[in-house]
Amino acid sequence: MTKLTLGTHPYLLGFEQLERLVERTAKTGNDGYPPYNIEQTSDRSYRITLAVAGFAEDDLAITVEDNQLVIRGRQNDDGEDRIYLHRGIAARQFQRSFVLADGVDVGEAIIENGLLHVDLTRKVPESVVQTIKIRKGTS
């Protein structure tokens, strides 16, 4: 018996990219840090909130690469001239990735009280009806 994958099903033409997207999403390497929430703020908007306590604006970078929202954090470890008796708060870097659907735009990013909020909006696709002419073949 042949196993059909999403990209090879006869009724799903042009969905090969979706299968690659699922594979890419599984390989993002997110390790659970920093913790985050995703909330739907309206019918067409979302907000991702990351707990980034200890990170300043300059320590964070937000990019969109190939429909993938990437949030990176890198703190400078200024502890070389300090003597710690206990160090439970480490300067830790992170990279958190989110795959965006076509038509999802990244809006503004706000940092407040140790939380980074990134707003997303989804455009409503225009309804397109296309009529295809049928011509007689020459045989």
pLDDT one digit per residue (tens) for the chain, 139 residues: 556 566 666 777 776 776 776 676 666 555 788 999 999 999 999 999 999 998 999 999 999 998 899 999 998 766 578 888 998 877 789 999 999 988 999 999 999 999 999 999 999 888 899 999 999 988 6
Note whether 11 and 71 are same-domain residues: no
Among 46, 63, 39, 64, which Cα is nearest to 121's?
A: 46
Domain interval for residue 12: 1-29
End-to-end CA gap in the chain: 39
Note whether 44 and 91 are same-domain residues: yes
- Residues 105 and 13: their CA atoms lie apart, in Å, by 26
Note whether 111 and 64 are same-domain residues: yes
Structure tokens at 90: 């480490």
Note whether 77 and 95 are same-domain residues: yes
Instruction: Name the residue with tokens 């937000």.
Output: 62
> For residue 34, is the peptide bond before it cis, meaning its omega torsion is within 30 degrees of 0?
yes
CB-CB contact of 22 with 96 (8 Å): no
Output the pTM of the full model.
0.72
Note whether 114 and 50 are same-domain residues: yes
